[in-house]
Amino acid sequence: MSTYPLQVQGRLDSSRLAWIASVALTGSLAGVIIVSYIPGALGVDSRLATVPFRGLMLIILLYTSYRWLDASQLRIGISVTSLLAVFFWTAYCVKFLVDAALLQIPLGRPPWDMTLYLFGMCLPAFIVFYLIKDVSLYRKALIWTMLGLGACCLVSMFRTQTAQDVAIHGGGYDANEVLSHISYGHMGVTSAILGLFVLLRIDRIRRPWYLRLLGAGAACAGGFTILASASRGALVAGILLIPVVVYMGLRRGSKFLSIAMLVVFSGVLSVTATYLDQNGMNLDRQFGYATAFTITNLSVYNRDTMYRDAWHEYMDHPWAGDLIVERNSLSYPHNAIIEAFMATGTFGGAAFALLVLIAIRRAFRLIKRNPAMAWISLCFFQQLIGAMFSGGLYSNAPLWGMMAIILGVEIPRVRPEGWAR
**pLDDT tens across 374-416, in order?**
999 999 999 999 999 887 899 899 999 999 999 999 888 766 6
Number of domains in the chain: 1
- Pairwise CA distance, residues 25 & 234, whole Å: 21
- Pairwise CA distance, residues 194 & 18, whole Å: 18
When pLDDT is cut at 50, 70 and 90, the band that residue 32 belongs to is confident
**Measured CA distances, 414 to 249, 365, 370, 411 (Å):** 21, 10, 9, 9
368 in a structural domain = yes
3-state secondary structure of 236: helix
pLDDT of residue 195: 92
416 in a structural domain = no
| DSSP H helical ranges for 118-167 | 123-131, 139-162
pLDDT of residue 402: 95
> Which phi and psi (to 5°) does residue 172 adopt?
-145, 175
Query: With 70 as the cut, is the pLDDT of residue 278 above it?
Result: no
**Measured CA distances, 376 to 218, 339, 367 (Å):** 17, 25, 9
For residue range 95-117, list pLDDT tens digits in order. Answer: 999 888 887 777 778 888 888 88
Range of the domain at 403: 14-408
Burial of 279 (0-12, 13-18, 19+ CB in 10 A): exposed
2 in a structural domain = no
Q: Quick check: pTM over 0.95?
A: no
6 in a structural domain = no
Burial of 365 (0-12, 13-18, 19+ CB in 10 A): middle
Helix (H) or strand (E) holding 259: helix 255-278
Reported as half-sphere exposure (CB side, CA atoms, 13 A), residue 26 has a value of: 22
Q: Tell me what the mean pLDDT of segment 195-206 comes to.
A: 89
3-state secondary structure of 419: coil
Helix (H) or strand (E) holding 169: strand 168-169
Look up residue 259 and give its amino acid. Answer: I
**Measured CA distances, 59 to 20, 23, 128, 381 (Å):** 12, 12, 12, 27
4 in a structural domain = no
pLDDT of residue 289: 45
Sign of the CA dihedral 407, 412, 418, 421? positive
pLDDT of residue 198: 93
| DSSP type of residue 105 | -
Query: With 90 as the cut, is the pLDDT of residue 71 above it?
Result: no
421 in a structural domain = no
5 in a structural domain = no
39 in a structural domain = yes
Query: With 80 as the cut, is the pLDDT of residue 302 above it?
Result: no
Look up residue 344 and give its amino acid. Answer: T
